[in-house]
Amino acid sequence: MGNAKLWGLKKSPWVFHLAAAPCNNCDIEILDILTPRWDVERFGIVLVGSPRHADALLVTGVINRKSLPRVLRVYEQTPKPCLVIGVGSCACHPHIFEPSYNVVGPYDKYIPVDVYIPGCPPKPEAIILGVVKALKRL
Amino acid sequence: MNIVRFLFSYIIFPGFLFSAVIGLFVTWIDRKVTARIHWRVGPPWFQPYADFLKLLLKETIVPEGASKILFLSAPLLGIISMSVLAVMLFSMNFDPTRTFVGDLIVIIYLLALPALGIIVGGSASKNPLASVGVSREMTQYFAYELPFLIAMAIVVIKSGGSIKFGEIVAAQQAHGPFLYSISGIIAGVVILLSTQAKLSFVPFDIPEAEQEIMAGPYIEYSGVALAMYKLARAMMFFLLPLFLISVLWGGFADWWAILKFLVIVVLIVLIKNTNPRLRIDQALKFFWLGIGILSIIGLIFAFYGL
């Protein structure tokens, strides 16, 4: 049973794109990996519109006081087991935004992040590598 | 003994299990052909099975405030009706004498049940986007059902006024398929387009428009319930082309049927991939004015035996 579950989850991770106040740079790269050039449907990865259908959340952007409750709500709405993948440098660490009054810190203070993909923005190849690493960790 | 045979035909072949397995395979054909049109590689053959398995083993969430019984039982409506439809189609194609009076009407109602399941489930899920999707689904149902029924009337007239599904198949086996005439081609076009709308494929994927209302009625569904919807859709994708073949293209009791089936499936996928989505009012106009008038012309042709 456990093996079947793992196989199903590894072979068809549906991703939900959770943009928590990003600058849209990483989001464009995420859309790139769905285009025919990179074609992630080869691995069964499909972009879904509702967090209820998702197996992996791609979170982008610096988390702040406005986006934190939304991120938490979407994470709670996602059926478990689910992966959380932080895309971009901002998801790894607030960097230059850290002294700002509005920034509440990195993601893993609030939700368990499985993989961080650094880069501003990360290349599509790097995002695919990150997702593969997240799946290997299961 | 009879009961065992009944259960076997409804649960294993050609009912639930067979049409589910083949239906999931047909959705793979859809995704692969779509990928080749996009000049991509596309998913491997086991992709729909992996998706289904994963959804079965995931958590199923019932939204707070939703009607629990309706929310969880609505997806089953499509699966049950499609299993019954599979048994009827297969038994009457391979043995046209196993028919009863008015079974064509029973089949028309069975084809309408999945849409009803989507409407009930979407309304029960207490989500504004789901209700938008449901209202569109209802409008679209009224849009495509009228030309579809007129096309069925063409089929009935061409078979000499019979509403027995088995007799329609037998008449075609005796005198050649209905498709090879003017009214037959018109009925074929009408049924193909309403098949497209019944499956909610792209020119008519208005109820679940991914870009505007996420997944419409399915938005709150997860885990097993979503898997049931996907399965019902897959079974429809397998059975609706078979229905078209058996009412117009001479039944599927021979090996040519596989080729006919693939032609229809690829045609549906091509229409899906070369068209933009219509608005709901445009779809209504298209079905009631354009296709509706076309089907009435076909009805007149059929009346004069063309």
- Residue range B206-240, pLDDT digits in tens: 878 777 777 778 888 888 888 998 899 999 999 99
Which of A9, A16, A53, A76 to mutate to probe the B interface, most B CBs <10 Å?
A: A53
Closest-CA residue in chain A for B64? A77
Whether the pLDDT of residue A1 is over 70: the answer is: no
Mean pLDDT in residue range B27-32? 91
**pLDDT mean across residues, chain B:** 87
Cα distances from B289 to residues A133, B199, B296, in angstroms, run 54, 21, 10
Residue at B169: amino acid letter: V
Q: CB of B142 within 8 A of CB of B116?
A: no
pLDDT in the model for residue B150: 92
Please give, rounded to a whole number of angstroms, the shortest distance from the CA of A120 to a CA of chain B: 27
Q: Do the chains contact at A79 and B219, CB–CB below 8 Å?
A: no
Residue A73 pLDDT > 60: yes
* Closest chain A C-alpha to B21 CA, distance in angstroms: 16
Inspect the interface and report whether the beta carbons of B54 and A81 lie closer than 8 Å.
no
- From B188-197, B231-240, B247-256, the region with the lowest mean pLDDT: B247-256
Please report which confidence band the pLDDT of residue B1 belongs to, taking 50, 70 and 90 as the band edges: low
* Residues of chain A contacting residue B54, judged by C-beta atoms under 8 Å apart: 5, 8-9, 11-12, 55
Q: Does B220 touch chain A (CB under 8 A)?
A: yes
Is the ipTM here above 0.90?
no
Closest CA to B65 of B112, B130, B143, B151: B130
A102 at the B interface (CB within 8 A)? no
Q: In what order do the strands lie in the sheet with A115-117?
A: A46-47, A14-19, A56-60, A83-87, A115-117
Tell me the average pLDDT across B297-303. 90
Q: What is the pTM of this model?
A: 0.88
- Between B53, B59, B219, which is nearest A4 by CB? B53
Query: How far is A53 from chain B, CA to nearest CA, in Å?
Result: 6
pLDDT reported for residue B296: 92
CB nearest A4 (choices: B57, B211, B215): B57
Which single residue is written with the structure tokens 């996602």?
Answer: A78
The verdict on A4 touching B (C-beta cutoff 8 Å) is: yes
Q: Does A125 touch chain B (CB under 8 A)?
A: no
Q: Inter-axis angle of helices A2-11 and B47-56, to 10 degrees?
A: 130
B76 CA: distance to closest CA in chain A (Å):
18
Query: Average pLDDT, stretch B199-207?
Result: 83
The predicted pLDDT at position B148 comes to 92
As a whole number, mean pLDDT of residues B103-132 equals 88
Of A4, A36, A81, the CB nearest to B38: A36
Of the two residues B59 and B149, the one the predictor is more confident about is: B149
Share of chain B above pLDDT 70, in %: 100
Give pLDDT, residue A93: 81
Chain B contact probe: residue of A52, A76, A82 with most B CBs at under 10 A:
A52
